[in-house]
Amino acid sequence: MAALHSRSEQLSAAARIIFVNWAAALQLWLVLGGAALTVGYIVIDAITAALFFRMSRGRWFPAPLCFMHGVLVIYHVGTLLNTGGLFWEKFVLNRLFDVELIYVTACALYRIIAVNRTGRA
């Protein structure tokens, strides 16, 4: 909600991309299991990293999001090759998702404060 109230097209787009990523991952989790689930996560995070890479041309805000999803692709490949346990895979994914939400929310709140302080959009 903060991204929508920030009146920034880039923040709103990032929030929508994160939501679609989450919804797609949830659908995969409900339908797939085992190695197929991990491969599905690789595809979803690779697409998300590509979208944030495209958004980051000339802008700093999406760059950490692109980097995070690129690291997630490498992480998923590692968990695919070394099945260390489903609990830890999900634990790491949930914490990184939380960090991603906090980052977008903090950027949106900063923009809201900056716009209110200067009075321009």
Task: State the chain's mean pLDDT as an integer.
Answer: 81
Give the pLDDT confidence of 24-82 residue by residue, as tens digits.
988 988 888 777 888 888 899 999 999 989 888 877 888 888 888 888 888 888 888 87
Is 80 exceeded by the pLDDT of residue 99?
Answer: yes
Q: Cα–Cα distance between 85 and 62 in angstroms, integer?
A: 31
Domain layout of the chain by residue ranges: 11-118
Out of 1-10, 45-54, 81-90, the most confident range is 45-54
Is 60 exceeded by the pLDDT of residue 115?
Answer: yes
Q: Cα–Cα distance between 9 and 1 in angstroms, integer?
A: 13
Q: How confident is the model at residue 85 (pLDDT cuts 50, 70, 90)?
A: low
Percent of the chain with pLDDT over 70: 88
pLDDT for position 47: 92
**In this structure, what are the phi and psi dihedrals at residue 109, rounded to the nearest 5 degrees?**
-65, -40
